[in-house]
Homo-oligomer: A and B are copies of this chain.
Amino acid sequence: MKIEVYAANTHVTKKELDGKVVVAIDTLRAATTIVTALNNGCAQIIPVEDVEAAMDLCSKMRHNNAVLGGERNAQKLPGFDFGNSPLQYVEEAIRDKTLILSTTNGTATIARAVDAKALYIGALINATALVDELAKLHEDVTILCSGTHGKFSSDDIFTAGCFIHKLRSRVGKLELDDLGRMAEDFYARNSANVHGALSSATHYQRLVSLGLQADLDYCFSIDVCDVVPIYQDGRIVAR
């Protein structure tokens, strides 16, 4: 199995992802939010890049049980029902709802890969469930990290390394690119101390400065859900 890794959604073109099996990662926090919402009974998630377009769509779908979530600069937007904290998406709030989601980096990553052959959403909280699904496919995989504003973000690389490390124990021989090797090594050296490995990272520090330590604790909890989100025809549902 061949695995290639990109550190940010802008590091690869939409065309290069066409027809591939892609895993979109946004550890802090969109992917963790998507997994959590589906785990808590959300019917479907519609990712929308543009804030205005998300608001328009939600107002049209209000009678269909739609709610609006997301962030810009890590903060909830005016008129939105939810921010991008996965802890807000509890069962009472999200069961049977359609979530319209617009975030800074995560929804752009999904938009980049909508023409993939298969598009999964992965986070640390659903790592093993996702890897079990990938192992069954017997196909090459492209791991597309969101990064932060086009830049390499250590939290996403850690998650990519986690997936690779877990895949290795299931499928045996892996063919990795340089970033995949670096990611697996980073994860393997730090799997017992996620906060220690990531506490100096820019995105981690940004969330700490906003008082979101509880979000960090949750986003770094490995394997607390077994939902595998998959993108199909404009929406994300549980596989």
Contacts and interface: CB of A to CB of B under 8 A. Distances in A.
Contacts of A11: 8, 10-11, 150-151
A46 interface: no
A202 B2 CA distance: 13
A181 B157 contact: no
Which interface residue of A4, A5, A8, A152 has the most chain B CB atoms within 10 A?
A152
A25 to B, nearest CB: 14
Nearest to A150: B11
Interface in A81-122: none
Interface string A166-180: 000000000001110
Contacts of A12: 150
Interface residues of A, number: 23
A153 B11 CA distance: 13
A186 B182 contact: yes
Interface string A1-41: 00011011011100000000000000000000000000000
Contact of A202 (B8, B152, B177): B177
Contact of A179 (B10, B152, B177, B200): B152
A128 interface: no
A13 to B, nearest CB: 9
A154 B186 CA distance: 13
Interface in A129-149: none
Nearest to A181: B200
Interface in A181-211: 181-182, 186, 200-203
Contacts of A151: 4, 11, 177-179
A147 to B, nearest CB: 9
Interface of A: 4-5, 7-8, 10-12, 150-154, 157, 177-179, 181-182, 186, 200-203
22 contacts: A4-B151, A5-B152, A7-B179, A8-B11, A11-B150, A12-B150, A151-B177, A151-B178, A151-B179, A152-B178, A152-B182, A153-B178, A154-B178, A154-B182, A157-B182, A177-B202, A178-B201, A178-B202, A178-B203, A181-B200, A182-B182, A182-B186
